[in-house]
A and B are shown apart, each in its own frame.
Chain A
Amino acid sequence: MNILDVQDVSKSFGENTALQNVSLSISKGEIFGLLGPNGAGKSTLIRIITQIIKADNGEILIKGEKLKPEHIEVIGYLPEERGLYKKMKVGDQLMYLARLKGLDKSEAFEKIKYWIKKFEIEEWWNKKIEDLSKGMQQKVQFISTVVHDPDILILDEPFSGFDPINANLIRDEILQLRDQGCSIIFSTHRMESVEELCDHIALINNAKKILDGPKFEIKEAHKKHSYRVEYKGDDLALAAPYAISSNATLQNTNKETVIIDQSKGDPNELIKLLAQKVEIHSFSEIIPSMNDIFISKVQEVNHG
């Protein structure tokens, strides 16, 4: 069973359509990348899931149940626009936010103890937020998001405000949470982290979902059957269905050529052909990056 189902959800603000018949499914223990340009409707969708706003149409199901107020206790949400009460002490703040998520006093205290120990910030308990650095504040913010052991974690640009060391720390936490069975919705513009973390991806543009599926399938579907070959020998000349898209000479005097197989055939056939002509030093298929897919998909929709 899916942990979260978004079924045919639409939302508009006056004249503006923010979401149009969007459907998604997220299963237990996966990292789901919710991608899209600014203003595409990602934040609106997230706000509907977190019950901040209501959908005009459509249904949200959590573990098969229609969205209801109690569900906020199974969701942890780290908004892009985030902050803390600046004058409050770290401990008080975390206690308050944990209790708003429905934990009782002793439970909240235990969980917070666990997390601040893990992040080695125990000595900050009585420090005011405004006295902490930006990175430290982000750690506290992250703890406040996960303190109630949510089944669904929604992270909107989670790495902004972190230095590379702390970003790694948070990334490891995210992966660990996933391994413990937490489903994570991950919204970001940083494609390298999508590449690295996400199992499943949905792309939203202009209020509509334009792409949805497991990351590897999407990559498979978008590959162009192009191969990079490094070799010694004369310049290659190939007949159809092969086409040469670029040629270069490397520093070690080897040549590098990118070949596109327009027939989308077996790469072994190409290797056989090449082996007859030149001395092959390396052969690899070019898999498009998520960044390339993102850009080409969005442009295709906007121009087509």
Chain B
Amino acid sequence: MDKIWLILQREYLTRVKKKSFIIMTILTPVLFGAMIFFVAWFSTKKGDKKVIEVLDDSGYFEKKLKSNEEVNFVYIGGDLEKAKADFEAHGSFGLLYIPKIDIDKPDGLKLYSGQNPSFDLVNMIKGQVSEEIRQLRIADLDIDETMLDKLNVDVNLKTLNMTETGEKESNAGVNFGIGYIASFLIYIFIFLYGAQVMRGVIEEKSSRIVEVIISSVKPFQLMMGKVLGVAAVGLTQFVIWVILMSAVSASASTFTGINELKDNPAVTRGADVDFDQMENNEEIAGIFRAIENIPIAQIISLFIFYFLGGYLVYASLFAMVGSAVDSEADSQQFMLPITIPLLLAIFSLGPVLSDPNSQLAFWLSMIPFTSPVVMMGRIAYGVPGWEIALSMLLLIGGFILTTWVAARVYRVGILIHGTKVNYKVLVKWFFQN
């Protein structure tokens, strides 16, 4: 046991002391934070104001299209052909042509532009024109506008989970997000750190130190020491990331003012509080309340369990592949059986998350090869305790099984150089005394 500890220490320290580890560990959340920052920055930053010339032959829209921060509507008169030829020379972004239209059947509106107009811009123009035509029709039909408003129905459906402690506000979107992120992180961690184990084994094999080492320790101790050492590296990296990211996202959310919204939905940055924005804020505040209602401590502890468990189930298999080959290039042929269950787990996330209590979701979160990814996806939706317990037990069982199988192949493989290895050979090694 103390030998496993020695090996674990070496594996851990050599990796953690590497420059690339330090750089990656710091850079990843910085990049992540920078990404969030830029997205937030660009979404709040207004683009250049675009000038759109309006040639209104219908006469309905005179001074009706409202300019805003992004678009300035300029009404022009005259001939369409001439306007088409001229608008770019004026430095205008586009030309909106409204022919003589029938308000019951508005057709033939055209937007000419040098560049492709953005989706938002087209929608904005469409919205303004439609609204104007709606107003015209209302006037035409002689309908009272207050009556119309009364017909507008807007339901805000709150979803509440019944639990022992009472009802909690939940949000399917938030659950989906957390599930997806957690699953994906586990998926990436397994590959990232599994590959590190494999590379470590190949390095020991190709540098020929392995025989020196296993004359001092059992192959199993060497394998376990490496697997656990790399797990410790992964945990360290994860903890640093959590700390760094929460710091970065705290500063990012201060910047975008989300915290203000959460605390007081009515406060907005602009002076003109209109009804739409109020509703919007109510929705955001709801999301935050839903996040607050998610059992964070439970999710984090389960995440760590499934992260470690998932990694451990696969790590020894990665070690086994490493022991069977002489170079990383040869490892491809053995990677397929490892990759397939993980890919299956990731691809099934869509159906699982849309129906977290389905048969598919249940079984995939029991099988140790897929359960870390799939169970983490479901967890935010609330999973019965017995299912979690059973899944955890099976995961531990899966870890013992794969480690046992892998260790039997590993102990033979690490001493064999320059032989062509296929699956049959692996089976032979497994049964070798």
Contacts and interface: CB of A to CB of B under 8 A. Distances in A.
Nearest to B211: A79
B214 A84 contact: no
Contacts of A84: 207, 209, 212
Contacts of A87: 14
A131 to B, nearest CB: 15
B213 interface: yes
A272 interface: no
B304 interface: no
A75 interface: yes
Interface in A61-102: 69, 72, 75, 77-79, 81-88, 96-97, 99-101
B10 interface: yes
Interface string A1-32: 00000000000011000000000000000000
Contacts of B14: 85, 87-88
B6 A85 contact: no
Nearest to A13: B432
Contacts of A88: 14
Contacts of B165: none
A54 interface: yes
B215 A75 contact: yes
A75 B215 CA distance: 9
Interface in A161-180: none
A95 B203 CA distance: 20
B301 interface: no
A83 B209 contact: yes
B137 interface: no
Contacts, number: 61
A144 B214 CA distance: 14
Given A69-B218, A79-B212, A96-B10, 19 more contacts: A14-B432, A47-B415, A50-B215, A51-B215, A52-B211, A56-B433, A75-B215, A77-B211, A79-B211, A81-B211, A81-B417, A82-B208, A82-B211, A83-B212, A85-B209, A97-B212, A97-B216, A100-B3, A101-B216
Nearest to A99: B6
Main secondary structure of the interface of A (DSSP, over half): loop
**Which bracket fits the contact residues of A?**
20 to 34
Contacts of A101: 216
B432 A100 contact: no
Complex A-B, nearest 6 residue pairs according to Cβ-Cβ distance, in ascending order: A83-B208, A100-B216, A79-B211, A83-B207, A77-B215, A50-B215
A144 B207 contact: no
A86 B215 contact: no
A52 B208 contact: no
A85 B210 CA distance: 10
